[in-house]
Amino acid sequence: MTQAVRDEAGRAVPAFDMLVDLVGDGGVLVLSGAGLSTESGIPDYRGETGRRRRAEPMTYQAFVGSAAARRRYWARSHLGWRHIAHAGWNAGHRAVAGLQSMGLVSGIITQNVDGLHQAAGAEQVVELHGSLHRVVCLSCGERTSREWLEQRLNAANPGWLGAADAINPDGDAVLADDQIGAFEIVDCAGCGGLLKPDVIFFGENVPRPRVAECYELTEQAGLLLVLGSSLTVMSGYRFVRRAADHGVPVVIVNQGPTRGDGDAHLALDAPLGPTLTALLARFGCEPGSLGGVAGLS
């Protein structure tokens, strides 16, 4: 990735200085991926932590088509949820919220399902792939909190002692088959329908109105700032392509190469937390003063 670039006069400019200049113009739309949450201890599928594990995510087709698959998912997710629920925002999330409060970030689209942007103080976050903090019934459509589901699962499985070998990016814990077989799942308390986390599984489509909203945000942005995403799947990469098609500059900050590097005005290979904290500081806001920024506490 580019660490130094040339300005319009042909002079070499440090890439970070150009990042500061571009963000300083405002109208920034953030598109965040799993790499932004790895510093909170949540692994990703394709970045540095993802390459160290072999994760087979649940597909929508398997979930709705197999009772055994649903039992496996909920047993693993019930245990892994504790890891997601106790994860805290990191310096990168906090910096994005700070930039938003300063009026430089006009919108946030996240591919993450962990809710950490909001926990750090960000507002009006479009959760492209949904949130693990909610559960939806596939029959009646009712959405309820994950906390309530966890209470019901605990009541249905008194004394169940699952032990995870590892935690996957979507809060899915790796469990032995004998532990899964002893786990009891619960259905919708209202209609008895199948319960699913309110997230987009592999093989499932993002709702069209949500995609349309993200396209509109992209087209209206002054800059698309991609944070911590390899852009491997089209779900996120399409917004980079839409930005390029509408003349919106694209800047990528990620550890490792991305699918969108060829579309980017600037690409930085750098850790997210330190880079975004330094970026915020260049606009006169030090990490220790974020509590004083409007909208943050």
Domains along the chain with CATH numbers = 1-42+89-129+205-297 (3.40.50.1220), 52-86+133-199 (3.30.1600)
pLDDT in tens, 138-194: 999 999 999 999 999 999 999 887 665 556 656 666 667 777 888 999 999 999 999
Where residue 285 falls among pLDDT bands split at 50, 70, 90? confident
pTM > 0.85: yes or no? yes
CA 138 to chain centre: 23
Long-range contacts of 133-136 (CB under 8 A, 24+ apart): 133/198, 134/197, 134/198, 135/195, 135/196, 135/197, 135/198, 136/195, 136/196, 136/197, 136/198
pLDDT at 185: 96
Check whether 294 has a pLDDT greater than 50.
no
Q: In the predicted model, what is the mean pLDDT of residues 116-133?
A: 96
Q: What is the residue-averaged pLDDT of the chain?
A: 87
HSE-up of residue 17 (Cα within 13 Å, Cβ side): 8
DSSP classification of residue 197:
E
Burial 257-268 (b: 16+ CB within 10 A, else e): ebbbbebbbbbb
Token readout for 221 is 């942005």
Tokens 């790796």 sit at which residue?
Answer: 174
Nearest Cα to Cα of residue 265 among 25, 22, 12, 30? 22
Annotated binding-site ranges for NAD(+): 111-114, 228-230, 254-256, 272
Name residue 5's beta-bridge partners: 13
Look at residue 177 in the predicted model and tell me its pLDDT: 76
Is the dihedral angle over the CA atoms 252, 296, 119, 272 positive or is it negative?
A: positive
| Closest residue by Cα to residue 117 from 94, 101, 99, 100 | 94
Active-site position among 129, 133, 246, 265: 129
Q: What is the pLDDT of residue 95?
A: 97
As a whole number of angstroms, the distance between CA 216 and CA 220 comes to 6
Is 117 annotated as catalytic?
no
Mind listing the pLDDT tens digit for each residue in 205-244? 999 999 999 999 999 999 999 999 999 999 999 999 999 9
Residues within the annotated binding site? 111-114, 137, 140, 188, 191, 228-230, 254-256, 272
Phi-psi region of 131 (alpha: psi -120 to 50; beta: other; left: phi over 0): beta
User: H or E segment at 218?
Assistant: helix 208-220
Residue 181 or residue 249, greater confidence: 249
What is the rounded average pLDDT of the residues 91-112?
97
**CA–CA dist 99, 122 (Å, integer):** 9
Tokens for 96? 């994005």
Tokens of 64: 């709705």
* Structure confidence at residue 82 as a pLDDT band (50, 70, 90): confident
pLDDT band at 295 (very low <50, low <70, confident <90, very high): very low
pLDDT of residue 53: 42
Q: What is the pLDDT of residues 6-39, one digit of tens each?
A: 555 555 568 999 999 999 999 999 999 999 999 9
Does residue 138 contact residue 63 with C-beta atoms inside 8 Å? Answer: no
Residues of each annotated binding site for Zn(2+): 137, 140, 188, 191
